[in-house]
Amino acid sequence: MKILVIGGGGREHALVWKIAKSPLVSQIFCAPGNPGTARHATNLPIKVDEIDKLLGFAKSEGIDLAVVGPELPLSLGIVDLFREYGIKIFGPTRFAARIESSKAFSKDLMHKYGIPTAAYGVFTDIDAAEAFILKTGAPIVVKADGLAAGKGVIIAGTEQEALAAVKEMLSGNTFGEAGSRVVIEEFLTGEEASFLVVTDGRNLIPLASAQDHKAIFDGDLGPNTGGMGAYSPAPAVTEEIHQKAMEQVVQRAVVGMAAEGCPYQGVLYAGLMIKDGEVKTLEFNARFGDPECQPLLMRMKSDLVPVLAAVAEGDISGQTIEWDEKAAVCVVMAAEGYPGEYPKGDIITGIEAAEQLQDVTVFHAGTAEKNGHTVTAGGRVLGVTGLGNSVAAAIEQAYQGVEKIAWRGMQFRHDIGKKALFRD
């Protein structure tokens, strides 16, 4: 099979890395890719939002299966376009991808189909939003309705902070069109977890549990990011929680999407808040999480390609996924200043040394090649991922890899995975 992976981050490097292990695959292309994907695939100078160019390449090259990594091309309708020309593609349609690209659509879906979530309101008017904030009180959560690269969520500790966030978003200064409508919801407490399934629109296969770390600093302090690290399995997802997540969250979502006339095919990511043995849904994403994808694929023993192809063909009923008993931990190494402004072009050293360690894989995210050096080219730069017999052992492996790598001003969290170690 010839496979095209669309995207250029850590998630896409992990997908290419895993797909390359399949005996079914003869050639892999990645658009635009990065220096990490280039080890296993032919990188293409096509951006993820250039969906007509991606289609043209897939047609001319005879691509057997396209795999979409990021949310942007999904929201632009790349799946609809490829299907129109008979090219198999893994991911939801543009209408189905609204489960991520519009938080208002997602919250309304949850409300309509009985999916447990926080109380909320949707606003385009500042005065109405202000009234809701004052009635609900703080802390309170303000979300840009559209896509904002994982950064469009403000957890406001005071009503004044919430009002300032609403005014900033609705003015269009912060997130542009993505913030022209806001979702305001009650603040939920508990422990977060990431719950992912693959689905053909009817059948579901759960992936292993995982937990992300959104905040930039240790102790979940500072602004939200696209994700500073993740681990799998997540002890917070007990067998009881797993069953509730399947029955109350993802199954109802898949049934609801079909009933709304936009059946969902692809990977469905539910961000959960777990408290006192119950689950509530924070959000849905229409693709693999990044960085959850990295530890999940490190633990996946099965060949990923038959599962991806079966989803694209609309029937996963004969598919199963086998998981390694070992744990995996991914530590994201980020550029100085991220998630705000950050420099590019700093030379990175030590990647090869880190990869020489047993059970350590370095996934490239925001990197580039320049004058024979690997340099920084994004906010989240690398995802150093370790495998171990326990979460504690995997943490140790990952951080041994981190210690080998250096560049000017790099930053990373020192507590990835520790929530799994210190539980009540």
pLDDT in tens, the chain (424 residues): 999 999 999 999 999 999 999 999 999 999 999 999 999 999 999 999 999 999 999 999 999 999 999 999 999 999 999 999 999 999 999 999 999 999 999 999 999 999 999 999 999 888 899 999 999 999 999 988 877 655 578 889 999 999 998 988 887 666 656 557 899 999 999 999 999 999 999 999 999 999 999 999 999 999 889 899 999 999 999 999 999 999 999 999 999 999 999 999 999 999 999 999 999 999 999 999 999 999 999 999 999 999 999 999 999 999 999 999 999 999 999 999 999 999 999 999 999 999 999 999 999 999 999 999 999 999 999 999 999 999 999 999 999 999 999 999 999 999 999 999 976 4
pLDDT, residue 34, reads: 98
pLDDT, residue 178, reads: 52
Compute CA distances 309 → 30, 275, 299, 306, 315, whole Å. 17, 36, 20, 5, 9
Q: Which domains does the chain have, with CATH numbers?
A: 2-93 (3.40.50.20), 125-180 (3.30.1490.20), 191-313 (3.30.470.20), 327-420 (3.90.600.10)
pLDDT, residue 172, reads: 63
pLDDT, residue 424, reads: 47
Closest CA to 206 of 273, 267, 283: 267
**Where are the extended beta strands (E) located within 253-312?**
266-275, 278-285
CB proximity list for 400: less than 8 A, separation 6 or greater: 354, 357, 360, 386
Determine phi and psi for 364, rounding to 5 degrees: -80, 140
Compute CA distances 419 → 212, 215, 347, 395, 396, whole Å. 11, 14, 33, 11, 14
pLDDT, residue 180, reads: 76
Closest CA to 407 of 311, 358, 322, 338: 338
The model's pTM is: 0.93
Asked if 230 and 289 count as a contact pair (C-beta separation under 8 A), the reply is yes
